[in-house]
Amino acid sequence: MRDDEQVLAANSGFYAAFAAQDTAAMAALWAQRAPVACIHPGWQPLLGRDAVLASWRAILSGPGAPPIRCGDAVAHVLGDSAYVICVELIAPVELIATNIFVREDGAWRMTHHHASSIARGASEPEEDPEPEGFLH
Amino acid sequence: MRDDEQVLAANSGFYAAFAAQDTAAMAALWAQRAPVACIHPGWQPLLGRDAVLASWRAILSGPGAPPIRCGDAVAHVLGDSAYVICVELIAPVELIATNIFVREDGAWRMTHHHASSIARGASEPEEDPEPEGFLH
């Protein structure tokens, strides 16, 4: 498999663990040595493997975790790291995610996840202080 | 300078170009060869240098661009790439950003920017389908 295919497979593994509420698989796919961080939608950032994995344990063990699907994933390889942009479909909500991976011990492991809300079909910013202006 | 200090300096350069509405500086700080992408708050992702720089030209040349400041920046170096997490202060709005950099020709250049809204002081997700549940 090419690097980008391997990265997309790792990205799919993340969403498979998420959808299956599999805390052991989720813990295994995060980097062991590279610095780990996570920004859940609307949250302050979590820094460090312990804080990030604790958040996933809480999320995956909660009763309210809805089905999640990943779509439109695009991988960008930067040597021994890579980032994926994809849509997260959690009906009726659509989120956008940036997932960063790093090659560790021959496997692509997640180092950072940032998910946020997106306007469906948006081509304009959600926050627009003036008709002609952009927040960015 | 250590790598993380260089990355933080590159991150500061991005916000300096943004605050100064300097389109030439903004164009120069994005990667020339590495794959470029950008997720403005609430937007669909933009892929490719041309689309990303066109968006910045529109934003920086618009009359509505408010003052922006970067805070709480933390750099995580992954060899020849790195990611920074920081807060973007655009009064009265507070955003959270993930910025990915790659080393090109000895300089740290931006390959991806993802900014999204954040609840001030939030420790809970902004979208919570059930009292005990998390979107993630």
Interval B20-77: pLDDT, tens: 999 999 999 999 999 999 999 999 999 999 999 999 999 999 876 678 999 999 999 9
**CB-based contact B133 A43, cutoff 8 Å:** no
A59, A127, A129: residue with CB nearest B136 = A59
Q: How far apart are CA B87 and CA B116, in angstroms?
A: 10
ipTM for the complex? 0.89
The pLDDT tens digits of the residues spanning B102-112 come to 999 999 999 99
> Cα B114 to chain center, whole Å?
5
Check pLDDT > 90 for residue A22. Answer: yes
DSSP A40-91: -TTSPPEESHHHHHHHHHHHHHSTT----EEEEEEEEEETTEEEEEEEEEET
CA atoms B32, B36, B42, B43: torsion sign: positive
Q: Which of chain A's residues have a Cβ under 8 Å away from the Cβ of B35?
A: 76-78
Round to the nearest angstrom and report the end-to-end CA distance of chain B.
37
The pLDDT value given to residue A130: 33
Q: Nearest chain B residue to A131 by CA: give it.
A: B64
Q: Which of chain B's residues have a Cβ under 8 Å away from the Cβ of A115?
A: 136
**CB-based contact A47 B128, cutoff 8 Å:** no
Mean pLDDT, residues B85-94? 93
Q: Which residues contact A81 (CB under 8 A, 6 or more apart)?
A: A100, A101, A102, A103, A111, B78, B79, B81
Check pLDDT > 80 for residue B93. Answer: yes
DSSP code at position B19: H
**CB-based contact B118 A90, cutoff 8 Å:** no
Distance from CA of B15 to the nearest CA of A (A): 12
Task: For residue B42, give both structure tokens.
Answer: 């609430």
Mean pLDDT, residues A36-47? 96
Q: Which of chain A's residues have a Cβ under 8 Å away from the Cβ of B132?
A: 62-64
Determine how many CB atoms are found less than 10 A away from the CB of residue A80.
Answer: 16
Q: How far apart are CA B70 and CA B1, in angstroms?
A: 21
